[in-house]
Structure 1
Amino acid sequence: MELRAALQQVADEAVEQHGVPGVVAAVADQEVIAVAAAGERAIGGARMTRDTVFRIASVTKPIIAAAALALVDRGVLRLDAPVVEWLPELAEPRVLRHPAAELDDTVPAERPLLVEHLLALTGGLGFTDDMGTPLAAALTDRLRQGRDDPAGWPGPDAWLAEAASLPLAHQPADGWTYNTGYDIVGVLLARAAGRSLGAVLADTLLNPLGMVDTGFRLRPEQVPRTATAYAAQGSGLEPIDGPDGAWTGDIAFESGSGGLVSTADDLLAFGRMLLAGGDAPVATGGGRVLSPSAVARILAPGEPSPPDHVFLEGQSWSLGGSVDVVERHPWDVLGRYGWIGGSGTALYAYPAAGQVAVWLTQRELAGADDAERMVPMLTLAAERAKQVARGPAH
């Protein structure tokens, strides 16, 4: 089946059989773009379209990592620099004696936190694979972790002060802890550049790549084409944020872990830039966005995780996303880079095939059943990537 038709079938089935209100899916390489839309922006509302705006949640992380590497290219940051240069609140972190210990059962940090620790999620402040610890509760209650909704957050300085009052789950560089590092990175980038995080993204990535629909706030003209966000409630779905909701109000904290809205075409532009070695598309003026060495660092695989790792499931983490180092499932492809968002989104790049895949829905991921709604599209993308990588002779 031709790619566009196969993609449309997957999108239609997600809506008709798997309880997703709407979908925009895309698979593209440097020459071909296939996009499919199905369902509705809101239940009973307007049809889903290619330019629908979604809350992308943790798909924010790869974009933040790329912005950080852009500042490294410009000499504003160094990956091996202690973060205390910009974040003095983190000068003397404490470390839990055990990741499940009480918050006051700590020892001093043995080494300083580095910029790379935050980007690689080895800094120590974040979720371990045990979500029942005192630290996990504090991250949720005091730092609003797991809540991409921007309403009610304090400003960056107040948020970081609260973050600095919490202990690390492990010594810097001696473990992996999810999410919080990217909110800290967001504060760091803003301070290092002397402007808001949104302005840093616009300067380094969004403007050069023509990502006109990506940001931390919805412009008035975006509101009518923004999807309503839903969460499962019993046997149905409950709206949790409308087009004129949290992303249109006063936003004090621009979350580097999950605060962006975007569209399929914007995310394709970002992914294709990575596959082009850091070059912007000719349609947006061309030019260098990231150095080849920065792109190589983003796409470089790390150490495999345990097969039962709650976040990585045997794969590795690079900067901003995971990199497949083992093919355990039909949708795994060695070298595949990217991540999923808890709002029902995914972005993956397949370097060996020069391919990008995007999956955007507005149904929150609450468990394995929700994540499995992505499987048909990711499997389709994986099959195509493997076929392209093998070449026509095969």
Structure 2
Amino acid sequence: MSSSFDETFKQAVSPGPERLLAGVALAATGSGVNDVDYLNAFGTMKLDPASPSVSPTTVMWLASCTKLATTVAALQCVERGLFDLHSTSDVERLLPEWSNPQVLTGLEDGREQLQPAKEKMTLVHLLTHTSGMTYDFFPPLMQWRTSRGEGVLCMRGPITEVFQHPLVCEPGTGFAYGSGLDLVGLMIARATSTTLEDYMREHIFSVLDMNDTSFRPLNINNIAERLMPMCTRLSPDAPLVDGDYPENPLPVPMEPKDDFGGAGLFGTAVDFLKLLKSLLRDDGKLLKSETIDLMFKPALSKPSAAALNVTLSIDQLAAICIPGQPLVGTPGCGEWSYGLGGILGLTDQENGLKAPWMQWGGAPNLKWWIDRKGGSCGIYATQLSPAGERKQQGLLTLFQQEMARKFEQKGE
């Protein structure tokens, strides 16, 4: 690894008002069976330089990185014939609470305007954020909660309670990031007559020796004791401070009310790399080759693809979904879609990633990617609020660039 790469990251975690991160764990590898994992870390658990150093085995709240593991678990169930990707009846059978949803069409004088959904949800809709389910800290559900005298309920109770709300669009016609994967996790638990934690432990975590990954940080392998605390940038030009963002709508789920397949996992960069590596190398441990191929194919309808482009044209949302990338509709912007597991980059990137590559992340500014054509995967793991914090995003781009170069497939 180049000395300038290491120096840039060391400078980024150096104490002082220009500090970009308290600490960060980096893990990446290539598609070749002889490729050696790149594991490194910079900085400390807290801003105090005397606090313990971050390492690749430091526990992080993975937040929405969880969605990839839940997608893999769901696709395993599809392979086993427990439910189907496109069946509306399977969703109705396993999620009867959402079998007759209403669509929120507006709020007039503080009163909700609802109409019965004309379309039915499928597993693909839930996996790709096109079901109409969204988070209640996003508009318009946030305003809907307020009109009812309610605050944000997301992850503050059981799935069957906190995600009982109207859809924000007809299934299959829009793109609304949110709680679809939490419902998928519930489908998995009900179809297998177990908990999502127990299902993943048997079929994913134990298979890949991901022993430091769990929805239950207080119960598994002393995870809570090794968890990196949050630090926060309270405003774009403010220095970092220890602690979480005061207005963070997503509480760190230390004592979860459910196994939230959308954002509930805790784990380490080392563990999560094992999941990414299995998919990149198509090693047969988790999924069939044809299923992995399907993950990397655009899965959106034309209306949903157009809605995704609108999302990626909004500065605040793009900073979270495609950090460091130009807004859709501006010069240099790439083409994007959504696959089964994450967003798909359909344009080769200057940082070396080759289309179609997949990425997503988690609210505390974690990001992962899988580039099957270029031959690399990795995770950039930290615990920083708020989501989409901009000052540190160049570090992610640099990390991806260095790993793409290091693990580049020759002659492809």
Normalised by the length of structure 2, the TM-score is 0.79
1:39 is matched with which residue? 43
Residue 175 of structure 1 aligns with an amino acid whose one-letter code is G
Are 2:222 and 1:221 equivalent residues in the alignment?
yes
Deviation per residue, 1:350-393 (Å, 9 max, x gap):
111221121111112344xx245133333442365268556269
Match 1:118 to one of 104, 123, 126: 126
How far is 1:77 from its partner? 1.7
Residue correspondence of structure 1 range 33-72 to structure 2 within 5 A: 33-44=37-48, 45-72=51-78
Per the alignment, in what secondary structure is the counterpart of residue 392 of structure 2? helix
Q: 1:337 to 1:102 in 2, by over 3 A?
A: farther
Are 2:28 and 1:27 equivalent residues in the alignment?
yes
Are 2:202 and 1:189 equivalent residues in the alignment?
no
Mapped partners of 1:215, 1:93: distance in 2: 31
The answer as to whether partners of 2:25 and 2:55 remain within 8 angstroms in 1 is yes
1:283 is matched with which residue? none
2:341 is matched with which residue? 320
Mapped partners of 1:87, 1:101: distance in 2: 32
**Structural RMSD (CA):** 3.0
1:364 is matched with which residue? 385
The answer as to whether partners of 1:109 and 1:171 remain within 8 angstroms in 2 is yes
How far is 1:154 from its partner? 1.7
Mapped partners of 1:101, 1:120: distance in 2: 33
Mapped partners of 2:287, 2:52: distance in 1: 38
How far is 1:265 from its partner? 1.0
How far is 1:333 from its partner? 3.8
The answer as to whether partners of 1:331 and 1:378 remain within 8 angstroms in 2 is no
Residue 401 of structure 2 aligns with an amino acid whose one-letter code is A
Are 2:319 and 1:300 equivalent residues in the alignment?
no
Per the alignment, in what secondary structure is the counterpart of residue 221 of structure 1? coil
Residue 322 of structure 1 aligns with an amino acid whose one-letter code is I
1:108 is matched with which residue? 116
Per the alignment, in what secondary structure is the counterpart of residue 70 of structure 1? helix
2:197 is matched with which residue? 198
The structure whose residues are more often helix, as a share, is 1
> Which segments of 5 or more consecutive residues in structure 2 lack a partner in the other structure?
246-250, 322-326, 329-335
Are 2:256 and 1:269 equivalent residues in the alignment?
no
Match 1:13 to one of 11, 14, 22: 11
2:98 is matched with which residue? 90
Residue 28 of structure 2 aligns with an amino acid whose one-letter code is V
Normalised by the length of structure 1, the TM-score is 0.82
2:232 is matched with which residue? 231
The answer as to whether partners of 2:107 and 2:113 remain within 8 angstroms in 1 is no
How far is 1:342 from its partner? 1.0
2:153 is matched with which residue? 144
How far is 1:179 from its partner? 1.6
Q: Which moved more, 1:205-214 or 1:186-195?
A: 186-195
Mapped partners of 1:301, 1:371: distance in 2: 28
Mapped partners of 2:72, 2:354: distance in 1: 22
Mapped partners of 1:143, 1:71: distance in 2: 31
Are 2:392 and 1:391 equivalent residues in the alignment?
no
The answer as to whether partners of 2:73 and 2:200 remain within 8 angstroms in 1 is yes
Mapped partners of 1:246, 1:177: distance in 2: 22
Mapped partners of 2:259, 2:65: distance in 1: 14
Are 2:361 and 1:340 equivalent residues in the alignment?
yes
How far is 1:52 from its partner? 0.5
Residue 155 of structure 1 aligns with an amino acid whose one-letter code is P
The answer as to whether partners of 1:8 and 1:36 remain within 8 angstroms in 2 is no
How far is 1:137 from its partner? 3.7
Per the alignment, in what secondary structure is the counterpart of residue 262 of structure 2? coil
Per the alignment, in what secondary structure is the counterpart of residue 188 of structure 1? helix
Mapped partners of 1:383, 1:238: distance in 2: 29
2:207 is matched with which residue? 208
Q: 1:348 to 1:335 in 2, by over 3 A?
A: same
How far is 1:320 from its partner? 2.5
How far is 1:64 from its partner? 0.9
Match 1:382 to one of 401, 404, 411: 401
Deviation per residue, 1:222-278 (Å, 9 max, x gap):
33432112222453313139xxx96554x2222111111111111110011111225
Mapped partners of 2:381, 2:411: distance in 1: 30
Residue 222 of structure 1 aligns with an amino acid whose one-letter code is I
Residue 194 of structure 2 aligns with an amino acid whose one-letter code is R
Identity %: 22
How far is 1:127 from its partner? 5.3
The answer as to whether partners of 2:375 and 2:409 remain within 8 angstroms in 1 is no
Per the alignment, in what secondary structure is the counterpart of residue 52 of structure 2? coil
Mapped partners of 2:4, 2:276: distance in 1: 21
Deviation per residue, 1:47-94 (Å, 9 max, x gap):
112210001111111111111101111111211122111111111111
Q: 1:171 to 1:223 in 2, by over 3 A?
A: closer
Deviation per residue, 1:116-141 (Å, 9 max, x gap):
1101111001159x9443x2344795
Residue correspondence of structure 1 range 278-293 to structure 2 within 5 A: 278-279=283-284, 288-293=285-290
1:81 is matched with which residue? 87
Residue 25 of structure 2 aligns with an amino acid whose one-letter code is V
Deviation per residue, 1:197-229 (Å, 9 max, x gap):
111211221111111111112235333432112
Match 1:155 to one of 149, 155, 158: 158
Mapped partners of 2:192, 2:113: distance in 1: 36
Residue 378 of structure 2 aligns with an amino acid whose one-letter code is A
